[in-house]
Amino acid sequence: MPKRPSLIVVANRLPVRRVGAGAGARWERSPGGLVSAMEPVLEQFGGTWVGWSGSPGRGPRPFWADNVRIVPVALSRRDEEHFYNGMSNRTFWPLYHDAVRTPEFNRQWWGAYVEVNRRFARAAARAARRGDVVWVHDYHLQLVPAMLRELKPDLRIGFFMHVPFPPEELFAWLPWRTDILRGLLGADLVGFQTQAAMQNFSRLARRYTTAVGTDSELEFGGRAVRCGSFPVSIDFDAFDALARDAEVVRDAESIRQRLGARRRVVLSVDRLDYTKGIEQRLSAYAELLATREVSADRCVLVQIAVPTRDPLPDYARIRASVEHAVGRINGEHASPGRVAVHYFRRSLTRRELVAWYVAADVMLVTPLRDGMNLVAKEYVACRTDNSGVLVLSEFAGAARELRRAVLVNPRDLDGMVAAISHALKMDADEAAQNMSLLRSVVRRHDVRFWAEGFLGALTA
Ligand code: ADP
Ligand code: G6P
């Protein structure tokens, strides 16, 4: 009997990363939405995960983590600098996020990008047997689909972009725009978070390559390439169950007591990234306190920020600017034993994070641009009693689905102030009605729905 095709996931990051060196080296969970989404999927389907350990040098040998085979791809210090810090995080990341920072175009970085993509393609080709399904992820590996197809034409190859895909006005800046489009067109199915991103891609493919067809069905090099929108999601049941866990509920209560039992809790949780709109959010909260519409006696903002991409100058700048803003707000509004804004720059465990979601009356998720934003969905999944209000940026992919959130433009200061104030004052019945609808959306469209939708379309 023929064996069922195996699933091979190819992503820059492995689900775990190696931190520390020598005898002190250990593995910890990798940061970011891609890993949060793919972890439960691979746990369910089993398979292989090809990726980088997160530290330069010779990678460890392949190993098993539960039912997932982990295949590390080694990056040298130079690869880390040129491929990861450079091309991935200083060119593609800002370019694909509305150029909120100016992307840099550097030929050396591009050379490393091509080389490292080829290394990932070879590693995936070695891990796959005839007829297997290979699922390539995100902006680090856009050349892998075509490279892999050349090495092993008998594979089913899918690609999913977790970040936005920009319109021609921005994408056309890229000196290597045709190479990137051809790379992606090597897949049988190219998936995006939103319809808009999918349309941007298809139009660009028709404009800059020989591809012809519609937004969802292209023909390129004599092959069919399908494109689709598949909004990524979370493991709703796992978050819902954790939020009901007695110990987590006690922790949430203890958080509220320590913040001040009578105070409303406003929460934000992000990677410390310049796309997340943290500065704009803090300005809006400062303005709200300054107008005395809300007082620090009655309300507290908690900003939890995960350290990310530390060596890059734009990330050092955003950190300094956020810390300055927090200091300024507390300088004006804190009193002994009562801080107006709490700021924690650290990674939390899933249980700790859920306790914060359960403790928060209002959640502010206000990125300037975000492919999806899973934090918004996680908060919703944790509101088991339908209480709580989500304030969500129109520029997050999640806003397409979470229509019952309070939607805001993060660059509109007055609008932001009004939205936070509205969320704090919202009548309990109205809040419950909204939250109940939001919960049903995320419950229905959870991460399994996403993965099955994508893989179903890929293998159909
Ligand atoms: P991005 O992919 O840009 O990081 P997302 O909101 O889609 O943004 O995903 C972020 C993921 O990281 C979520 O699953 C969230 O739970 C997790 N996360 C965010 N902040 C923390 C933190 N301080 N500690 C641990 N995990 C965090
Ligand atoms: C986003 C990207 C992921 C990335 C994650 C964390 O979610 O879409 O591809 O892994 O951020 O960023 P990092 O640079 O630490 O991998």
- In angstroms, the CA 353 to CA 93 distance is 26
Bridge-based pairing state of the strands 47-52 and 362-365: unpaired
At 18, is the pLDDT very low, low, confident or very high (cuts 50, 70, 90)? confident
Ligand located closest to 234 CA:
1
Is the pLDDT at 370 greater than 70, yes or no? yes
- In angstroms, the CA 206 to CA 215 distance is 9
Is the pLDDT at 43 greater than 90, yes or no? no
Q: Which structure tokens are listed for 150?
A: 């050349």
| Closest among 296, 272, 277 to 424, alpha carbons compared | 296
Domain boundaries in the chain? 7-232+448-459, 237-443
CATH number for the segment(s) 7-232+448-459: 3.40.50.2000
For residue 35, the ligand 2 atom closest to its alpha carbon is: 10
pLDDT digits 0-9 by tens, 61-88: 999 988 899 999 999 999 999 999 999 9
- In angstroms, the CA 119 to CA 125 distance is 10
**Statement: the pTM of the whole predicted model exceeds 0.95:** yes
- In angstroms, the CA 69 to CA 62 distance is 7
Tokens 């934003």 sit on residue: 373
Is the pLDDT at 3 greater than 70, yes or no? no
Cα(154) to centroid(ligand 1), Å: 36
Q: Is the CB of 373 under 6 A from ligand 2?
A: no
Residue 433 CB contacts under 8 Å (≥ 6 apart), including other chains:
none
At 434, is the pLDDT very low, low, confident or very high (cuts 50, 70, 90)? very high
Name beta bridge partners: 63.
70
Ligand located closest to 80 CA:
2
Given ligand 1 and candidates 29, 30, 34, 36, which is best to mutate, with the most ligand atoms within 8 Å of its CB?
A: 36
At 2, is the pLDDT very low, low, confident or very high (cuts 50, 70, 90)? low
Around ligand 1, the residues with Cβ closer than 6 Å are 31-33, 36, 269, 271, 304, 306, 347-348, 353, 372-375, 378
At 25, is the pLDDT very low, low, confident or very high (cuts 50, 70, 90)? confident
Q: Which structure tokens are listed for 380?
A: 């919703």
- In angstroms, the CA 87 to CA 128 distance is 27
Mean of the pLDDT values across residues 201-214?
98
Residue owning the nearest CA to atom 3 of ligand 2: 34
Mean of the pLDDT values across residues 212-238?
98
Q: Hey, do 7-232+448-459 and 237-443 end up sharing a CATH topology, with the first three levels equal?
A: yes
Q: Residue 21: its pLDDT value, please?
A: 79
Is the pLDDT at 238 greater than 90, yes or no? yes
Q: Residue 431: its pLDDT value, please?
A: 98
- In angstroms, the CA 272 to CA 63 distance is 31
Given ligand 2 and candidates 14, 34, 49, 80, which is best to mutate, with the most ligand atoms within 8 Å of its CB?
A: 34
Ligand located closest to 30 CA:
2
Tokens 């309990």 sit on residue: 428
Q: Residue 66: its pLDDT value, please?
A: 84
At 4, is the pLDDT very low, low, confident or very high (cuts 50, 70, 90)? confident
Reported residue count of the chain is: 460
CATH number for the segment(s) 237-443: 3.40.50.2000
Q: Which of 188, 370, 445, 446 is catalytic?
A: 370
What amino acid occupies position 230?
F
**370 has catalytic annotation:** yes
Given ligand 2 and candidates 55, 271, 370, which is best to mutate, with the most ligand atoms within 8 Å of its CB?
A: 271
Lowest mean pLDDT among 11-25, 313-327, 360-374: 11-25
Q: Which structure tokens are listed for 173?
A: 């800046």
Cα(89) to centroid(ligand 2), Å: 9
> Residue 369, Cβ neighbours under 10 Å: how many?
22
pLDDT digits 0-9 by tens, 141-155: 999 999 999 999 999
At 20, is the pLDDT very low, low, confident or very high (cuts 50, 70, 90)? confident
Residue 189 CB contacts under 8 Å (≥ 6 apart), including other chains:
158, 159, 225, 226, 227, 228, 454, 457, 458
Contact status, residue 9 vs residue 48, Cβ threshold 8 Å: yes
Q: Residue 26: its pLDDT value, please?
A: 87
Mean of the pLDDT values across residues 226-244?
98
